[in-house]
Amino acid sequence: MSLDLAPVVQVPGRLTLIEEPANPEPVVAKPATTTKLTGLTNHNTAALSGITGWEVTKTTAVYSGTPAAAHTAVQKQMDQVRAAEGGRAHGYTSLIAVRNKLKELSTGGSHPAVSVTIKRATKKTSAKTRTGSPKARLTRKRQTEYTTAELVSALEGAWTAIRANHQEIPAVVIIVGSGTSTKQAKYGHFAASRWQHGEQRLAEVLISGEGLRRTAEEVFTTLLHEATHALANTREIQDTSRQGRWHNQKFAQLASELGLDTGTKDPSHGWSKCTLRTETTTTYKSVIAELKKALIAYRHPEAVGGGAKKNNNNAVACACQCPRRIRVAKAVLAEGEITCSVCDSNFEPDE
């Protein structure tokens, strides 16, 4: 097979054809609206091929304009054909089919010969203020004032997830409050039967605002810690002593059941300090992610007042599990245990 190629003529003072820059074609702006006819026959496309504004392929034809403008262009072509060749001219009936389809768009009609697709240009709209109720407009990143609504919702969702995996854990009322308003700072607490809801008594779980400065994993660890106390309460297991400060071996066993590691025993609080296991973090991955989104504020500790007089006597404040409180000299306390006859637990020093 041979190809006949025209000779290349080099013009003096001009670049070679390889080096000659091509003349850029002007960019034609796309119309705001195009009308596309699909499912056309060969007769349809042949009749439309000579009309200005139409781009015709084998079975489709696209007009650069609205359906009304497309209808006008087809009607104009029909008038010209009829005037020159009459109503029986070749392709005239195909134009009638297309025209009728375009004409019937305004009344919702159709024609079996063709179908129409309208493509409109995307319009850039200016930013509008959202409407609706304040609750519907409220998002985590768009709040006029900070609220704890999303935080409490995330904490409640985490507690629900824990209950789903450990059905003995009861429903509770979760509150966010101060963890430094008492002498002993805390990240959270569990209190049984603290709330009344109709005929039902509900326990309370407090998450301290000061502790919200920590990571989401650490806050969730606090929730699992309090869930351990809730599980102990359900099973009627004594998991703490010394007014809840000392966490015994039974607490460590229950915490391990919920996916926590208690590490080493603290001399003041027992097995209180907990950490998340790797598999526990994986189990609650989505829950921890939701907590992370909600942790956008935290509480400053209570200011420590100065000038308070120190108690110089030797009396020590002690409490049992009731709790009943007594004050006793250090020397007397050192002689032996003092037992409460009501709860059969020993009086332990507050400090």
User: Lowest-pLDDT range, 107-111, 233-237, 267-271?
Assistant: 107-111
Contacts of 325 (CB under 8 A, 6+ apart): 317, 318, 319
| Structure confidence at residue 170 as a pLDDT band (50, 70, 90) | very high
User: Lowest-pLDDT range, 49-63, 195-209, 309-323?
Assistant: 309-323
Q: How would you classify residue 103: left for phi > 0, otherwise alpha for psi between -120 and 50, otherwise beta?
A: alpha
pTM of the model: 0.50
User: Lowest-pLDDT range, 21-25, 182-186, 275-279, 291-295?
Assistant: 21-25
Q: What is the pLDDT of residue 91?
A: 77
CA distances from 39 to 36, 55, 69, 117 (A): 10, 15, 20, 11
pLDDT in tens, 235-246: 999 998 877 788
Report the alpha-carbon distance of residue 269 to residue 245 in Å, rounded. 5
Q: Output the average pLDDT for the chain.
A: 79
Contacts of 203 (CB under 8 A, 6+ apart): 170, 172, 173, 190, 191, 192, 193, 194, 195, 230, 233
Residue 313: pLDDT over 70: no
User: Lowest-pLDDT range, 99-103, 116-120, 275-279?
Assistant: 116-120
Residue 128: pLDDT over 80: no
Q: What is the pLDDT of residue 124?
A: 59
Of 132 and 56, more confident: 56
Q: What is the pLDDT of residue 3?
A: 43
pLDDT in tens, 275-308: 999 999 999 999 999 999 999 999 998 876 555 5
Q: What is the pLDDT of residue 97?
A: 80
Residue 37: pLDDT over 50: yes
Instruction: Give residue 38's Cα distance to chain centre.
Output: 42
| Structure confidence at residue 62 as a pLDDT band (50, 70, 90) | confident
| Structure confidence at residue 134 as a pLDDT band (50, 70, 90) | low
Question: Which of 96-105, 158-167, 257-266 has the highest average model confidence (pLDDT)?
Answer: 158-167
Residue 98: pLDDT over 90: no
Q: What is the mean pLDDT of residues 330-344?
A: 81
| Structure confidence at residue 4 as a pLDDT band (50, 70, 90) | very low
The candidate with the shortest Cα–Cα distance to 244, out of 232, 261, 258, 259, is 232
In which residue are the tokens 């004409």 written?
103
Element of type H or E holding 327: strand 325-329
| Structure confidence at residue 198 as a pLDDT band (50, 70, 90) | very high
Q: What is the pLDDT of residue 123?
A: 58
User: Lowest-pLDDT range, 69-73, 268-272, 313-317?
Assistant: 313-317
DSSP state, 28? P
Q: How would you classify residue 133: left for phi > 0, otherwise alpha for psi between -120 and 50, otherwise beta?
A: beta
